[in-house]
């Protein structure tokens, strides 16, 4: 192979990694304590990606991007339980949202956006609306007359 002619641009196309690593999760989610073992979240993200998105025609590199966001989502669900933490004069705030399933974190929301097939969004709707993850109901079985003396 002859060397390129001076002044001719050389295009180098790097081959993206298609292996989800813990470093990728920590890069996306730097607030996560580095001592956390993210292997279970990676495994879960890959399993979900394979089950739901494998037949969508995504390249391995694109599917990897979705799976990184899913892994960060699962880690965030497990580790971000507070909205504000304060020690003395030092204060730290974390994003906190009350919602269900993939809508709970920005990572889950981003994974749904990246999935242009809409299957993750459809899964989100099915989980929350078809009763897999439902809202509770409270039924009052007494009468207010019984407790009128206590008001």
Model confidence at 4, pLDDT cuts 50, 70, 90, reads: very low
6 belongs to a structural domain: no
Could you tell me the pTM of the whole model?
0.67
Question: Lowest-confidence range among 2-11, 23-32, 58-67?
Answer: 2-11
40 belongs to a structural domain: yes
pLDDT at 65 over 90: yes
17 belongs to a structural domain: no
pLDDT tens digits for range 22-55: 999 999 988 888 999 999 999 999 999 999 998 9
pLDDT tens digits for range 8-24: 454 444 445 578 999 99
CB 68 within 8 A of CB 102: no
pLDDT at 75 over 60: yes
42 belongs to a structural domain: yes
62 belongs to a structural domain: yes
Beta-bridged to residue 92, according to DSSP, are: 85
User: Which among 81, 70, 61, 72 has a CA at the least distance from the CA of 14?
Assistant: 61
Q: What is the pLDDT of residue 138?
A: 58
Q: What is the pLDDT of residue 98?
A: 54
Query: Could you report how far apart the first and last alpha carbons of the chain are, in Å?
Result: 92
Beta-bridged to residue 90, according to DSSP, are: 87
Token pair of 32, please?
Answer: 């996560």
39 belongs to a structural domain: yes
- 36: containing domain: 22-129
Structural domain count, the chain: 1
**Residue 121 belongs to what H/E stretch?**
helix 119-129
107 belongs to a structural domain: yes
pLDDT tens digits for range 100-151: 678 888 899 999 999 999 999 998 888 777 555 455 555 556 555 555 555 4
Report the interhelical angle of 106-114 vs 60-79 (nearest 10°).
160
101 belongs to a structural domain: yes
Q: What is the pLDDT of residue 31?
A: 84
Question: Lowest-confidence range among 45-49, 66-70, 73-77, 140-144?
Answer: 140-144
């Amino acid at each position: 192979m002859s060397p390129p002619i001076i002044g001719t641009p050389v295009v180098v196309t790097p081959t993206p990694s298609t292996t989800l690593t813990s470093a990728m999760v920590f890069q996306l989610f730097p607030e996560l304590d580095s001592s956390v073992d993210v292997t279970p979240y990676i495994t879960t993200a890959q399993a979900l990606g394979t089950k739901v998105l494998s037949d969508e025609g995504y390249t391995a590199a694109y599917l990897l991007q979705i799976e990184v966001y899913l892994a960060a989502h699962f880690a965030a669900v497990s580790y971000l339980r507070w909205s504000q933490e304060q020690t003395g004069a030092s204060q730290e705030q974390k994003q906190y949202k009350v919602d269900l399933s993939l809508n709970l974190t920005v990572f889950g929301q981003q994974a749904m956006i990246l999935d242009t097939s809409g299957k993750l969004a459809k899964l989100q709707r099915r989980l929350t609306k078809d009763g897999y993850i439902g809202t509770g109901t409270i039924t009052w079985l007494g009468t207010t007359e019984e407790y009128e003396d206590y008001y």
